[in-house]
Amino acid sequence: DQQVKQNSPSLSVQEGRISILNCDYTNSMFDYFLWYKKYPAEGPTFLISISSIKDKNEDGRFTVFLNKSAKHLSLHIVPSQPGDSAVYFCAASADSGGSNYKLTFGKGTLLTVNP
Amino acid sequence: DAGVTQSPTHLIKTRGQQVTLRCSPKSGHDTVSWYQQALGQGPQFIFQYYEEEERQRGNFPDRFSGHQFPNYSSELNVNALLLGDSALYLCASSLLGGSSYNEQFFGPGTRLTVL
């Protein structure tokens, strides 16, 4: 039973355009959401996060939107750059009374930004 | 400042054997989590260690065990290896109660192949 779903295995966009990566979750206990980026032969790198008390968080070219009623979040990258080409993982965490508890990941979306 | 390091990089074992993977956390971190990433899947939480004790465990059999040392480094042991244990094993470190909620820093992983 996958609690975090990334239904698009891959996405291809042109340099300079917007990339939108989507993520759905089923567990209503999740209250913190993160996006990680992973290059081949490297571990996932934290990109941006959002708490369930917010509906938007922005960091430079990256913006994450959270729609709690739809249990959906998305990552927007504007403008997209070739260096953004990587696998993007959506992850979620439930409040268990403390920080740093386990992360539940989606299967990832391979983003390719073409020059 | 060294990030999370893991050893070895690659490992090949045969069914039934035992394996030990090692992880050194990022400087200043006191919590280590282990994840298994099978091909085409997202990382799956195995367990987390803090103060040399297992703090939380995912849905993995007892063949998977771990240890944390006083210097916060950690080992993951897998006994009676199965073909299905072939995966990338990721170690993540964090600071319990740190200001960055749930920000876990990942190592590059150990690629385990079971023949």
Q: Which of A24, A45, A59, A102 to mutate to test the interface with B (most CBs of B within 10 A)?
A: A102
CA distance B29 to B31: 6
CA distance B59 to B46: 7
Dump the DSSP string for B56-79.
Answer: EE-S--TTEEEEE-TTS-EEEEE-
So what's the pLDDT on residue B98? Answer: 57
So what's the pLDDT on residue A1? Answer: 72
Residues of chain B contacting A96 with CB distance shorter than 8 Å: 56
Cβ–Cβ contact A96 with B under 8 A: yes
Nearest CA-CA distance, residue A10 and chain B, Å: 12
Each residue of A25-77: pLDDT tens digit?
A: 999 989 889 999 999 888 999 999 998 899 999 999 999 999 999 999 999 99
User: The tokens 């944390």 sit on which residue?
Assistant: B68
pLDDT at A11 over 70: yes
Nearest CA-CA distance, residue A69 and chain B, Å: 23
HSE on the CB side for A71, CA within 13 Å? 12
CA distance A91 to A107: 10
